[in-house]
Structure 1
Amino acid sequence: MNHLSAVLDVPPSSPAQLLAAGARSAPTPAALVGDTPVLWVGEPFTDPGRGFWAKLEGHNPGGIKDRTALYMVRAARERGELVPGGRIVESTSGTLGLGLALAGVTYGHPVSLVTDPGMEAQVAGLLRAYGAEVHTVTEPHPAGGWQQARRERVAELLAVHPDAWCPDQYHNPDNVAAYRPLAHELIGQLGRIDTLIVSVGTGGHSAGTARVLRSFFPHLRVVGVDTCASTIFGQPAGARLMRGLGSSIFPGNVAYELFDEVHWVAAPEAVWAARALARTRYATGGWSVGAVALVARWIARVSPVEERIAAVFPDGPHRYVGTVFDDDWCRAHGLLGPVPADDPEEIKRSADAVVERWTRCRTVENPRPASGTGADGHGLTGAGR
């Protein structure tokens, strides 16, 4: 039975046609993670004859962070860092929390997650439904904002639960290693990859995917996508509406040497792209997806037509129904502005200007303090997806 016949419910001509070719059977929820599809994103989202391949990580149960949550927990158990039944404590803005809840169910660990008022009520509800304990900080840290406030609350919970373990995803090398399968999937699906476009938050999936791909394709171009007011690539920290990418600390897992260029994208621009994707390709997501898609659309336009471009979409649209895809919410936050510019602004170095709209920089430097730790000099995790 071909795919179209199945969709249209055409009666099979023989019992053999009822076999579901390629369908997966999963003995555990964790077995549903991985083997996500790629989708061609072309016109009318892109210019005629141009486009890119999108890796749809929203097809994982919770999103791209399912991969690293399961990997980090399994590795910690194998090393004896996470004892049987020990509590998992981490800071998250959503997607990592869903992954850790999945890991908790899979391996039998209670999970305590620290977030802030910016977490969508739908996600907080899902986390509780999956058995996680959700702690919400109520005031930002005067210097480090919500991220630092969450970090401090994580430290308090770790002190209360002596057997607890914190993944410390910003500085945990397992967060990088977890994405080797994603890179292998892309190679199997696309064969050749000339350009990889990835959002950057903890630095895990960008480093883990790009490093493996470049070992196969030495001339791979890697394009990082950040948000305005994020410190990762040397901009000053500021208030950020966008969640899931960007940071107010310097994540230890960001592999600066892998990036050929970085683009910063503002919230209204990401909203426009996420909504345009939904209307034209029926595959979209939230802040990170919108920002990555905006950059990938431009890369596809200005690159040679034979260039094979892969973009990683970290999640799907469902958790953003009340934000990115809600007209009233977007109007209240000034996000329904004009169509983004055709081209990004350009700066030679990150320190040259404070960016406020889509901007490109082809000189990628490591702005981290010499210690390579977070902004406060400690390795405790910051705000994850």
Structure 2
Amino acid sequence: MTNPHLSSVLDFHPSSPASSPAQLLAASARSAATPAALVGDTPVLWVGEPFTPAGRGFWAKLEGHNPGGIKDRTALYMVAAARERGDLRPGARIVESTSGTLGLGLALAGITFGHPVSVVTDPGMEAQVTGLLRAYGAEVHTVTAPHPDGGWQQARRDKVAELLAAYPHAWCPDQYHNPDNVAAYRPLAHELVAQLGRIDTLVVAVGTGGHSAGIGRVLRAFFPALRVVGVDTCASTIFGQPAGTRLMRGLGSSIYPRNVAYEMFDEVHWVAAPEAVWAARALARTRYATGGWSVGAVALVARHLARTSPAEDRIAAVFPDGPHRYVSTVFDDDYCRTHRLLRHEPADAPDEIAHPAQAVVTRWTRCRTVTDPCPASPSATADGLSGAAR
């Protein structure tokens, strides 16, 4: 494997003519007969200094190289599996709650398999994503008030239930509890093994629990000593903190997704919005490859682990998407000033608590005790949407 501490240089010689037209294509170029064939085989990038200390760094899996982001993988997989089981009838409508990335994936799946798509979101959806969803033919419903207990997430799910009742034969993937959401990420894990050869630590954002469980379980079968580090946001209930108002999208939850593999995690880090913004912007300035809330939070934690772990440890961090949808939020100075997100360089190390219930966290904090705060059977969902066809 190429030494990651050395700068990579493109072998580009414009004065050297190709001996055949085929040589004009890079070895990795792909031809695709369908847009779905563009999903997967995403690159990994070495993230080193100056984002990390000299001689230290981590590998970032750049899922923003998929057409819509990491959830293209699960959208295509969940829809294909539901069609195969007969849960989703030919031409029936797909209805789901989304903060954005899954909606783009479902729009792709709808075009691929011939289904109309209705997505339910909230006022936090970026205008760019709403515009793209409509351009791709999806019907967008925006809830106007949060649920008193479950916040915007539960309000969206309530609207999904309403739409399922209104559309005959409609089907909801229910990404929060559908085990297909986990199974969809096996190929991503295999890609990481092929690309890196050995992985000692995996750093993943946790929202629905799908990609963290799907990647982590497969990698641990290859590497039994793998350390799995989950990244959540402050005011998220997933790992036992109380629910609160959250600015960040794409990670965290106000409900308890049953896809979260609590037994798999060695530790969890909560990251606050200003800290994620700092990391996303620092990545952009120093490494060019960056993303939004989830990418910033994951990169901050991976940076810390690269600094504090043995130098020979190989760390893989999953970047769920790229920066483009965050131009009006994470990368907009006016937005960041309004929400007091600027000039908050994180501490060198996180705070630490012994148990998730020890304290309400408001800044970057680590906990090495990970338990399920709401143990229940997978079928005991709040509204029975899992795998539902209406």
TM-score w.r.t. length of structure 1: 0.96
Distance 1:365 1:17 in 2: 54
Distance 2:25 2:290 in 1: 30
Tell me the residue number matched to 2:75. Answer: 69
Match of 1:331 among 323, 329, 337: 337
Tell me the residue number matched to 2:108. Answer: 102
Q: How big is each residue's C-alpha offset from its partner over 1:156-180, in whole Å with a ceiling of 9 and x where there is no partner? A: 1000012100001111000000000
Match of 1:175 among 177, 181, 191: 181
Contact 1:226 1:264 in 2 (8 A): yes
Question: What secondary structure is seen at the aligned counterpart in 1 of 2:120?
Answer: strand
Deviation at residue 21 of structure 1 after TM alignment: 1.6
Q: How big is each residue's C-alpha offset from its partner over 1:9-56, in whole Å with a ceiling of 9 and x where there is no partner? A: 444152263243221000100000000000000000000000000000
Whichever residue aligns with residue 263 of structure 2, its letter is E
Q: Which runs of 4+ in 1 moved over 6 A?
A: none
Map of 1:288-307 to 2, 5 A cutoff? 288-307=294-313
Map of 1:111-190 to 2, 5 A cutoff? 111-190=117-196
Map of 1:156-305 to 2, 5 A cutoff? 156-305=162-311
Contact 2:18 2:24 in 1 (8 A): no
Question: What secondary structure is seen at the aligned counterpart in 2 of 1:352?
Answer: coil
Q: 1:332 to 1:373 in 2, by over 3 A?
A: farther
Whichever residue aligns with residue 283 of structure 1, its letter is A
Q: 1:344 to 1:379 in 2, by over 3 A?
A: farther
Tell me the residue number matched to 1:14. Answer: 19
Contact 2:177 2:378 in 1 (8 A): no
Distance 1:378 1:129 in 2: 31
Question: What secondary structure is seen at the aligned counterpart in 2 of 1:311?
Answer: strand
Distance 1:304 1:291 in 2: 22
Distance 1:239 1:380 in 2: 24
Distance 2:189 2:18 in 1: 39
Contact 2:280 2:290 in 1 (8 A): yes
Distance 1:252 1:5 in 2: 47
Distance 1:315 1:149 in 2: 25
Whichever residue aligns with residue 380 of structure 1, its letter is L
Deviation at residue 139 of structure 1 after TM alignment: 1.3
Q: 1:379 to 1:341 in 2, by over 3 A?
A: farther
Contact 1:250 1:372 in 2 (8 A): no
Question: What secondary structure is seen at the aligned counterpart in 2 of 1:360?
Answer: strand
CA RMSD across the alignment: 1.5
Distance 1:137 1:226 in 2: 24
Deviation at residue 238 of structure 1 after TM alignment: 0.3
Distance 1:342 1:196 in 2: 20
Q: Does residue 1:37 correspond to 2:43, yes or no?
A: yes
Contact 1:187 1:193 in 2 (8 A): yes
Question: What secondary structure is seen at the aligned counterpart in 1 of 2:352?
Answer: strand
Question: What secondary structure is seen at the aligned counterpart in 1 of 2:357?
Answer: helix
Match of 1:4 among 5, 10, 19: 10
Question: What secondary structure is seen at the aligned counterpart in 1 of 2:175?
Answer: coil
Distance 1:235 1:104 in 2: 36
- Residue segments in structure 1 that go unaligned for 5+ positions in a row: none
Match of 1:378 among 341, 366, 383: 383
Tell me the residue number matched to 1:49. Answer: 55
Question: What secondary structure is seen at the aligned counterpart in 1 of 2:248?
Answer: coil
Q: Does residue 1:311 correspond to 2:311, yes or no?
A: no
Contact 1:371 1:377 in 2 (8 A): no
Aligned residues: 378
Q: Does residue 1:28 correspond to 2:34, yes or no?
A: yes
Distance 2:152 2:379 in 1: 18
Distance 1:83 1:319 in 2: 32
Whichever residue aligns with residue 30 of structure 1, its letter is A
